[in-house]
Amino acid sequence: MRFMLMHRVQEDDNASWEPNPELVERMNAFVGKLTADGVMLGAEGVQKVGAVVRRRGTAIRSVDGPFAEAKEVVGGFLLINAKDLAEATAIAEEYITCFAGVEEMSVEVRQVVEFEDIEPYLTK
């Protein structure tokens, strides 16, 4: 099963958005370990600047982001293979330790929807 691990940081914490050499070293080691274990599918950080597109009823509105209504924002993600949610969560617990200098953050673990999951709902 594929899982996305999204790390969330405080939008106004500049240290969360400026990687330091120690963080880069820890992340490289962690990603190297996951790659060697055959778990890693992809990993990226994201920039602080972005946009949000919202739909309420039929009205669509775009605003500068990342997320004007939230304090925590996605700072990056890993895409991994894991046998189940428990294994993905254990990997997330190790992943969060890479951010030793970040005061407050979280890692959200979400299973990716596979084609087989939606195939029964497709009209043929």
pTM of the full structure: 0.80
Greater confidence, 103 or 87?
87
Write down the mean pLDDT value for the chain. 85
Residue 105 has pLDDT above 90, yes or no: no
| pLDDT value for 68 | 47
Instruction: Assign 3-class secondary structure to the chain.
Output: CEEEEEEEEECCCHHHHCCCHHHHHHHHHHHHHHHHCCCEEEEEECCCCEEEEEEECCEEEEEEECCCCCCEEEEEEEEEECCCHHHHHHHHHHHHHHHCCCCCEEEEEEECCCHHHHHHHCCC
The tens digit of pLDDT for each residue in 42-99 reads 998 888 777 777 788 888 888 776 554 567 778 889 999 999 999 999 999 999 998 8
